[in-house]
Amino acid sequence: MNSANIDNIQLWGETLRLMVELAGTAAFALSGVLVAAQKRLDAVGVCMVGFLAAFGGGTLRDLLLDVRPFFWVRHMEMLWGVLALCMLAMLFLRSHHFALTRKAIEWPDALGLGLFTATGVHQALLSGMPALVAVLMGLITGVFGGVLRDIVCNEIPTAFSDHRPYAVCAFIGGWAYVGLWQLDAPGWLALLACITITVGLRGLAVWRNWQLPAWQLD
Amino acid sequence: MNSANIDNIQLWGETLRLMVELAGTAAFALSGVLVAAQKRLDAVGVCMVGFLAAFGGGTLRDLLLDVRPFFWVRHMEMLWGVLALCMLAMLFLRSHHFALTRKAIEWPDALGLGLFTATGVHQALLSGMPALVAVLMGLITGVFGGVLRDIVCNEIPTAFSDHRPYAVCAFIGGWAYVGLWQLDAPGWLALLACITITVGLRGLAVWRNWQLPAWQLD
Amino acid sequence: MNSANIDNIQLWGETLRLMVELAGTAAFALSGVLVAAQKRLDAVGVCMVGFLAAFGGGTLRDLLLDVRPFFWVRHMEMLWGVLALCMLAMLFLRSHHFALTRKAIEWPDALGLGLFTATGVHQALLSGMPALVAVLMGLITGVFGGVLRDIVCNEIPTAFSDHRPYAVCAFIGGWAYVGLWQLDAPGWLALLACITITVGLRGLAVWRNWQLPAWQLD
């Protein structure tokens, strides 16, 4: 955790980091629209759940790490982008008689999970947090957009009741980031490894229907 | 956005601003009591939902804009006032066999929406936020007291599922504030225009039963 | 509220304060595990609800009082401790066919309420908040871990719908802390009085089945 290392992270650029944030925001916005559509919310409600899913996790990350201004204040074009995305998604849903199966929501959700986990770990390391806290910040950033989305839709959050690994994937991906970073690996490598591992594990869990160890009462 | 303009906003006085905040707090506290009573919460629960509805939106605004101390720390008499209001409302509800129709909740809710939207835009402009962010802060301040109220009562928030314009009214009212402010209109005019437009549009939507454009799947 | 008094609070030691925080965290983690188990969440979900119940109230307290770093960043061993506790609790639940009655959840919940209320009042007084705000911070700290736990489990929070005194106990205990502190009583006495009164009142309410005054509509 020498300062050369921190410079290293800052140098590989805001660009890659911004792209990851943009893609994660879009993925979660889409998942929000799909969940809200399933609950038959009105047109404005669908957009608001899209916004909450897209910006909720990152805003909570910035609040907890005391980072101001928020990323959506620094990059206001994201706000217009998410608004456009929500409207296009609604038009598409209506015209294509798209089946709102649980599966359709899982893929953008898995993508957003990996992308936001990476930005959370990244930001926490920049703020000088210790390893375990950085991993937890990644997990919170990745998971809480979806949790807020499910709470306002009056559902028990998928992240807690899916019975397939979800938060665990973010936890492992976060440790991969921290591990590579402590080995002085280049910043882009740690970021991409975290994303690949998190999305890959969640994807495998969905595809192969992995189950968490059963523990429940009969 | 010259500094004379900011002085202008500060000069027309804390008084009007405080009155707006007081009225909005009272209106939302009342809406909280009515929703909680409908859900048959206990006497303390009714007060707590009243408090959450009354102070939730403004506290979230101050958290996001990093404004301390919170408005209810600066004006502690509001805390006692809301407590008294909740108790009086409960006594009134019990003695008058007041029918807790959805309509009874809509009016204080519409009033609170307009009043809090105005304080949110105002505070965000004072903090130097750009126009779009200021409008969004107004929307968040106006809407999230009611959203928190509905979440703790285990309902999908009215703001998302009403099918009549709600958040949209706050959005339009917020732009009216920002527009007048950028035209160097006096601060009190921008504030009152925002309140009138938001409450008026929401009132019309409730009265005329306006519907948001239908978009849903069959 | 002289500065000698503040020194007094700081001197009787971080030790007692840390022990109270540890015990409260453990108690609420346990209550989270029990509620989540009742809702049949998966193994990771049970841990996450345990964490949310354990750290939610204290994190909200630190956010509102603008205290950084969070207590779980200063004492990271708590994170591993709560993880171990959640896993042990799950193993115990499975092997002992423990009946998840409402009663089983009430005791750790009452204990956590008292312990966290005391830490909330303590921290608010250290931050120089006035008496009423300090009591409210205690109440928020004590109550909101459980409120978040119940919200993610898609329940109306027990704190609002129990019909037996809950938040009221924290309110009275908080005033006991503030009262003793203003009488220049030693810090440890105020802290222990607050815990004893809050837990004792809630315990009596559960045991004797005290009811809040009925106020509801027929």
Which of A33, A38, A41, A44 is the best substitution to test chain B (most B C-beta atoms within 10 A)? A44
Nearest-CA distance from B217 to chain A in Å?
6
- Is a pLDDT exceeding 60 seen at residue A171? yes
For A41-77, the pLDDT digits (tens) are: 888 899 999 999 999 999 999 999 988 888 888 888 8
C67 vs B101: which has the higher pLDDT: C67
Q: What is the pLDDT of residue A3?
A: 52
Least-confidence region, from A98-112, A174-188, C34-48, C112-126: A98-112
pLDDT band at A215 (very low <50, low <70, confident <90, very high): low
Cis peptide before A157 (omega within 30 of 0): no
Alpha-carbon torsion (A37, A42, A45, A46), positive or negative: positive
**Who contacts A198 (Cβ-Cβ below 8 Å, separation ≥6)?**
A113, A114, A117, A118, A142, A169, A170, A172, A173, A174
For B95-123, the pLDDT digits (tens) are: 776 666 667 778 888 888 999 999 999 99
The count of other CB atoms within 10 Å of the CB of residue B215 is 14
- Is a pLDDT exceeding 80 seen at residue C201? yes
Average pLDDT on B28-47 reads 89
Nearest-CA distance from B97 to chain A in Å?
30
Distance CA B203, CA B38 (A): 22
Distance CA A80, CA C67 (A): 34
Q: What is the pLDDT of residue A10?
A: 55
Mean residue pLDDT of chain A comes to 86
B49 part of contact set with chain C, CB < 8 Å: yes
Hey, are the CB atoms on B161 and A37 less than 8 Å from each other? no
- Is a pLDDT exceeding 50 seen at residue B151? yes
Q: What is the pLDDT of residue A8?
A: 52
Distance CA B198, CA C121 (A): 39
C144: left (phi over 0), alpha (psi -120 to 50) or beta: alpha
Hey, are the CB atoms on A44 and B166 less than 8 Å from each other? yes
Single-letter amino acid, residue A113: L
pLDDT band at B7 (very low <50, low <70, confident <90, very high): low
- Is a pLDDT exceeding 90 seen at residue C90? no
Mean residue pLDDT of chain B comes to 86
C60 part of contact set with chain A, CB < 8 Å: no
Hey, are the CB atoms on C160 and B45 less than 8 Å from each other? yes
C-alpha triplet A48, A50, A54: angle, nearest 5°: 115
Residue A42: both structure tokens together:
């009105």
Nearest chain B alpha carbon to A66: B66
- Is a pLDDT exceeding 60 seen at residue B11? no
Residues on chain A touching C79 (C-beta within 8 angstroms): 132, 136
Least-confidence region, from A10-24, B86-100, C30-44: A10-24
Average pLDDT on C37-42 reads 86
Q: What is the pLDDT of residue C1?
A: 45
Question: Does pTM top 0.80 for this prediction?
Answer: yes
- Is a pLDDT exceeding 60 seen at residue B54? yes
**Who contacts B64 (Cβ-Cβ below 8 Å, separation ≥6)?**
A59, A63, A70, B137, B140
Q: What is the pLDDT of residue A12?
A: 55
Nearest-CA distance from A170 to chain B in Å?
26
Hey, are the CB atoms on A160 and C40 less than 8 Å from each other? no
pLDDT band at B125 (very low <50, low <70, confident <90, very high): very high
Percentage of chain A exceeding pLDDT 70: 89
Hey, are the CB atoms on B37 and C136 less than 8 Å from each other? no
